[in-house]
Amino acid sequence: MDYRKFGSTYYIRMDRGDEIIAGLLSICEKEGVRSAVYNGIGGCASAQIQTFIPAEGAFHTEKVEGMLELVSLMGNVVTGEDGGLRHHTHALFSCVRDGAHSIYAGHLKDSVVLYTAEIELRPVLNGTICQKHDPETGTGFWSFSCENK
């Protein structure tokens, strides 16, 4: 993985074997970024994609492997109630299964790069977005009143 900052934006190149979410969070930790948005494209070898099932209060997770074209990656990093970084990431992958194109999409738990991923990370300027736990859904939502800035 390599990255550069131009202006206030980070441009990240992830390489074979890099895990996308861990890489993004490590850059944010290293650079002191407490909240940001990001998007990207690339090629991955595996991904764990999730869908939240409200009736169960849990995520359904599916692991996909093979040549996965990362068509769209978008998400955000926020500061959790404990001061740690949290991510909320969605991704769309295209691949060939049984001779036909297939698509996998949803909340991205993790993904390993096959040959490259190119990601733009834009920190929030002049403020911090935090995450507050919502007991009704069991998930977290943005909060603009942060105790841990």
Residues 6+ apart with CB under 8 A from 46: 63, 64, 65, 68, 111, 112
103: which 2 tokens? 């698509």
Domains of the chain: 2-143 (3.30.1330.80)
Whether the Cβ atoms of residue 104 and residue 62 lie closer than 8 Å to each other: yes
Q: What is the 3-state secondary structure (H, E, C) of 62-121?
A: EEEEEEEEEEEEEEEEEECCCCCEEEEEEEEEEEEECCEEEEEEEEEEEEEEEEEEEEEE
Residue 147 has pLDDT above 80, yes or no: no
Report helix, strand or coil for 27. helix
pTM of the model: 0.92
Report helix, strand or coil for 31. helix
For 2-61, write each residue's pLDDT tens digit. Answer: 999 999 999 999 999 999 999 999 999 999 999 999 999 999 999 999 998 888 888 899
Residue 117 has pLDDT above 70, yes or no: yes
Average model confidence (pLDDT) across the chain? 94
